[in-house]
Amino acid sequence: MEIRTRNKLKVLELDSATGVPLHRQAEIHLRSLINGQEFQDGALLPNELTLANEFGVSRGTVRAALSRMVQDGILDRRAGVGTRVRPRKVESGVTAWRSLTREMAGKGVIVENFALETSRVAASKIVAQALRIDAKATVFRLDRLRGWDGMPVLHSRSWFHPRLALKGTEDFSQPIYEVLKVASGTSPHHAREEFSAVASNAQLAKQLQVKIGEPLLLRRHTVYDDGDRPVEVAEVHYVSSRFQLTLDLKRDLP
């Protein structure tokens, strides 16, 4: 299937047999499409019906993909006018960490979930302090092993504040903060991050398919809502040879 733009021809192939939702595939193709200079210069995207016909999917599937990109601040839609790429802005810290799936999709990479486990556990002293709850209080924990191209890249372990009342029936294969918004009405506002280098232990080595003792990047963060209340504490171990974190800093001018 092909979609013609003014200056180039871009081949788009959506495959329902991959297990990746069609609206996700459509979003990836759209993100690639809008990198064209004509769209960066303000040209209107093809309408929903045209895109749906070219993709071979329903108009609702295309609308879902476009809506996600509008929510991410990438596209601007105006009734009676059409859809355009929004002018690029410097990312805030929040945009960078709120969704690995979204970030990697923008690079044309589909994040795979290799393992996902939920449980209820007693909070450790460190988790209790970060979430501002009593030590050994029961908290909801989420473990995920994720990566791409058939290889695990990171293992994340998150503990959530009890007030979120998570049930364990939520679909955590989806972007985590979108799930929290639907499940509890809570949205992330800011986070505190810590980074360090650690050696892989036996369990992580097995999960991440690396040698015991191989260096990993450990990222610890605590996420807060707009009332400065802790929402989540997480530890994420990255295989440094398969992933690179970049931090962009901007000086605030007077």
pLDDT in tens, 156-178: 999 999 999 999 999 998 889 88
Query: How remote is the C-alpha of 177 from its chain's centroid?
Result: 8
- Quote the pLDDT of residue 110: 81
Whether the CA torsion 228, 231, 235, 238 is positive or negative: it is negative
pLDDT in tens, 52-73: 888 888 899 889 989 888 877 7
Is the pLDDT reported for residue 91 higher than 50?
no
pLDDT in tens, 172-226: 988 898 899 999 999 888 889 899 999 999 999 999 999 999 999 999 999 999 9
Model confidence pTM above 0.85: no
pLDDT in tens, 111-148: 889 999 999 999 999 999 999 999 889 999 999 999 98
Mean of all residue pLDDT scores within the chain: 83
Show the tokens assigned to 102: 């979204």
Q: How far apart are CA 76 and CA 182, in angstroms?
A: 23
Helix (H) or strand (E) holding 223: strand 215-224
39 within 8 A of 86, measured Cβ to Cβ: no
Which are the contacts of 247, defined by CB distance < 8 A and separation ≥ 6? Answer: none
Is the pLDDT reported for residue 97 higher than 90?
no
Highest mean pLDDT among 10-14, 48-52, 148-152, 161-165: 161-165
Phi, psi of 175 (to 5 degrees): -50, 130
User: Within 13 Å of residue 60, how many CA atoms lie on the same side as its CB?
Assistant: 1
Helix (H) or strand (E) holding 224: strand 215-224
- Quote the pLDDT of residue 16: 63
pLDDT in tens, 17-28: 666 788 888 888
| pLDDT class of 251 with cuts at 50, 70, 90 | low
* CB-based burial label for 194 (10 Å; 0-12, 13-18, 19+): exposed
Q: For 197-202, which contacts have Cβ atoms below 8 Å and span 24 or more sequence positions?
A: 197/240, 198/237, 200/237
